[in-house]
Chain A
């Protein structure tokens, strides 16, 4: 506990944008076959540094087969919530779950170049105290650290629904389940909230048997992956409304609420529409009468392609689906970045009017049957995937792996981990930085990125930008 709030906690999104820029990034290093331990790479982002754009430190864990994916901070700007009195926490630890092992690592990054493991929460503690498995998304919030899970109990994680559990934000003990009334929620993926308005939104990917050994084509074609988003009364822990986006909208993944807490809308990315292979973005919002609505506001078309250029999984379709696998919203709620992992494109949409987004910028890199190279001349395996935006909105970082077994199905000939950066123009537009190209060590792929001092998908703000 400090005597003052952590200087990286900001009352409003606007203040977070004005704060000093990030000096380091922390990026997942994933051993896709579990032959080596996973880890977190520390990347130097200090402008003018000799090692700028290089991995300067690695924290490797002592186990095999964890499968790191998403991760988050122990504390963020939500600590300034006037209700909780947690203002004196420190943004110091990364909470890194293994989605295959259900183990959770707490990594101390107070000194980024000496980052080390602080605590390991064994899978048994998660199973025993929550009945959930395969922890995934991390958010720091009013009652501690919230962790979404993709699996329920039992060997294959299908014994009971998955959900969210809460960890103590100081001791990192697992406290227990979040849900009091989950309604019809039976799958899980991402979640986020608006703290002052007291609502939470959660999404669905699929149950462990539907993803652990690769995408199950029959399940996808019979629309058995998640296609609903759930709205919760955050503090009552109750599902108040479920919206079915339509069963053809398979895999409703990332939830990105507007950062300004006075707004009651946000976005959700859908990987693929099984009727036409489009990727899409839905805007969800709350009407004046309190009911939630959702509407498709962006569609991205597939690209026709000769079957011989396609992986076996897609040959029958004779097209490359966009595969919208990640989205991220800048802190001023102006630009939504959409990763089209199949096409090999990163799109930037101006969402100032959330109901009428317009394409403002686009970058091509990697992609199925296209394999666009990086401007530095380097190869880019797979396509743009996990995207993270700097707080000031000027730099957009991304990596390329989706999920170990899925990478191999969609890109059977690719291998490797890369991290790149693009600069945002004054009035929108997106351009890859020729000099920022990180090749991960052999045998490692890259996934989620977190930026020092917070980024555009970690912090929840309790005061509006004025």
Chain B
């Protein structure tokens, strides 16, 4: 398992999860296409993507920060990671059972993209998907530096949370942005519905897999 849970692999996981979130229409790339078309200005597209990215980034941070603070309790690290894994699995199971779309997302004004993106990420447990990966990265960091002062450790973890959230959001924005731009500039609206796949079940299963992975790595001491 050494190679799988190495730092590099985990960072790649951060990027891949970003790309995965980005291609999911449920995370908002159709909104960027819509904004550019409605305003009849191409520059509305990157602006919309930036707003969506901001909302997504904040949703990641809101989820990751509490965990980064908890990790100060080094002696409970395993329990925290197992607990986090259980929460992520629970979210996946909940989404599998409750296949209904969160109606409150429809109540957000179409122009408030950052808020919408934040709420969409929260509702779909997008931040939770990152938690086991993030905890894995932090845990490896702790192993390497051994017994840092609590303060320093917290600083490190918070910093890591921001980097993880930023890298993940960047990957998401690139993936969603590429799709939005291709549809807006070349393929046209016809492909909007063609590229819209129902990822609900796969998404829920991803949460369960990531949660299980988190628990496994916690047990195996990585």
Q: 1/0 contact trace for A346-372 toward B, CB 8 Å? A: 000000000000000000000000000
* In the complex, chain A residues whose CB is within 8 Å of the CB of B198: 1-4, 87-88
Closest 4 CB pairs of A and B: A82-B30, A142-B106, A11-B189, A82-B31
Quote the shortest CB–CB distance from A294 to chain B (angstroms).
Answer: 24
In this assembly, does B28 line the interface, its C-beta being within 8 Å of a C-beta of chain A? yes
In the complex, how many angstroms separate the beta carbon of B179 from the nearest chain A beta carbon? Answer: 12
**Is B107 a contact of A143 with CB atoms below 8 Å?**
yes
Instruction: Indicate if the CB atoms of A85 and B37 lie closer than 8 Å.
Output: no
A265 contacts the other chain (Cβ, under 8 Å)? no
Q: Which residue of B lies closest to A11 (CB)?
A: B189
B40 interface residue per 8 A CB criterion: yes
Q: Which residue of B lies closest to A14 (CB)?
A: B189
Partner of B106, one of A9, A11, A84, A464: A84
Cβ A198 vs Cβ B192 within 8 A: no
B195 nearest CB across to chain A (Å): 10
Do A235 and B108 have beta carbons less than 8 Å apart?
yes
Please, what's the 1-or-0 string for A198-224, where 1 marks a CB less than 8 Å from any CB in chain B?
100000000000000000000000000
**Which one of B110, B111, B193 contacts A5 once the chains associate, using CB atoms below 8 Å?**
B193
Closest to B106 in A: A142
Known: A11-B192, A262-B38, A463-B33. A81 touches B200 (CB 8 A): no
Q: Is the CB of B25 within 8 A of A82?
A: yes
Range of interface residues on chain A?
35 or more
The complex places the Cα of A82 from the Cα of B37 at a distance, in Å, of 13
Tell yes or no: B147 within 8 A of A by CB: no
Query: Can you name 22 A-B residue pairings with CB atoms under 8 Å?
Result: A1-B198, A1-B200, A2-B198, A4-B194, A4-B198, A7-B193, A9-B193, A11-B190, A11-B193, A12-B189, A15-B189, A83-B108, A85-B105, A87-B193, A87-B196, A87-B198, A88-B198, A143-B106, A197-B110, A262-B38, A462-B34, A463-B33
Are A463 and B28 in contact, with the CB atoms below 8 A? no
CB B205 to nearest CB in A, in angstroms, measures: 14
CB distance from B207 to the nearest CB of A (A): 17
**A464–B38 alpha-carbon span in the complex (Å):** 6
A143 to B106, CA, bound (A): 6
Task: Count chain B residues whose beta carbon lies closer than 8 angstroms to a beta carbon of A.
Answer: 34
Chain A residues touching B, majority SS: loop
CB contacts under 8 Å to A, within B98-112, are: 99-103, 105-111
- A170 CA to B116 CA in the complex, in Å? 23
Shortest CB–CB separation between residue B38 and chain A, in angstroms? Answer: 5
CB distance from B198 to the nearest CB of A (A): 5
A5 to B116, CA, bound (A): 21
In the assembled complex, which residues on chain A have CB atoms less than 8 Å from the CB atom of B30? 80, 82
Q: Which residues of A contact B (CB under 8 A)?
A: 1-5, 7, 9-12, 15, 80-88, 142-144, 170, 195-198, 235, 261-262, 462-464, 466
- The answer to whether residues A464 and B109 also contact, given A1-B99, A82-B30 and a CB cut-off of 8 A, is no
Rounded to whole angstroms, the CA-CA distance of A80 and B189 in the bound complex is: 11
Assess the B193–A81 pair: CB atoms within 8 A: no
Which residues of B sit under 8 angstroms from A262, Cβ to Cβ? 37-38, 40
Residues of chain B whose beta carbon lies under 8 Å from any beta carbon of chain A: 25-26, 28, 30-31, 33-34, 37-38, 40, 99-103, 105-111, 116, 120, 188-190, 192-194, 196-198, 200
| B101 A84 Cβ-Cβ under 8 A | yes
| Cβ contact of A463, chosen from B26, B107, B111, B192, cutoff 8 A | B192
> For residue A85, which residues in chain B have a CB less than 8 angstroms away from its CB?
25-26, 101-102, 105, 120
Which one of A11, A87, A88 has the highest number of Cβ atoms from chain B below 10 Å of its Cβ?
Answer: A11
A463 touches B196 (CB 8 A): no
Q: Chain A residue with minimal CB distance to B101? A: A85
Contacts of B34 in A (CB 8 A): 82, 196, 462-463
User: Contacts of A5 on B, CB cut-off 8 Å?
Assistant: 193, 196
- Asked whether A87 and B25 contact (CB < 8 A) given A196-B110, A235-B109, the answer is yes
How far, in angstroms, from A143 to B104 measured CA to CA in the complex?
8
Least CB separation from B28: chain A residue: A82
- Which of A85, A142, A196, A462 has the most B CB atoms < 10 Å from its CB? A85
Chain A residue nearest in CB terms to B104? A143
Known pairs A1-B198, A11-B189, A83-B106; list 12 more (Cβ under 8 Å).
A4-B194, A7-B193, A80-B30, A80-B192, A82-B28, A82-B30, A83-B110, A84-B106, A85-B105, A85-B120, A86-B101, A463-B192
Nearest-Cβ distance from residue A30 to partner chain B, whole angstroms: 34
Please report the C-alpha to C-alpha distance between residue A142 and residue B103 in the assembled complex, in whole angstroms.
8
In the bound assembly, the distance between CA atoms of A4 and B200 in angstroms comes to 11
Q: Residues of B contacting A80 with CB < 8 Å? A: 30, 192-193, 196
Q: How far is the CB of A393 from chain B (nearest CB, A)?
A: 19
Residues of the B chain whose Cβ atoms lie less than 8 Å from the Cβ of A84: 101, 105-106
> Do A464 and B37 have beta carbons less than 8 Å apart?
yes
Q: Are A198 and B101 in contact (CB under 8 A)?
A: no
Contact between B106 and A81, CB atoms less than 8 A apart? yes
Residues of B with C-beta under 8 A to A198: 109-111
A18 to B18, CA, bound (A): 36
- Interface contact B37-A466, CB-CB below 8 Å: yes
Q: How far is the CA of A313 from the CA of B204 in the complex (A)?
A: 65
B residues less than 8 Å from A1 (CB atoms): 99, 198, 200
- A261, B38: Cβ atoms under 8 Å? yes
What are the residues of chain A within 8 A of B188 when measuring CB–CB?
Answer: 466
Q: Which residues of B contact A464 (CB under 8 A)?
A: 37-38, 40
For residue B38, which residues in chain A have a CB less than 8 angstroms away from its CB? 196, 261-262, 463-464
With both chains docked as a complex, state the minimum distance between the C-beta of A90 and any C-beta of chain B, in angstroms.
12
- B220 CB, nearest partner CB in chain A, Å: 36
User: B145 → chain A, closest Cβ, in Å?
Assistant: 43
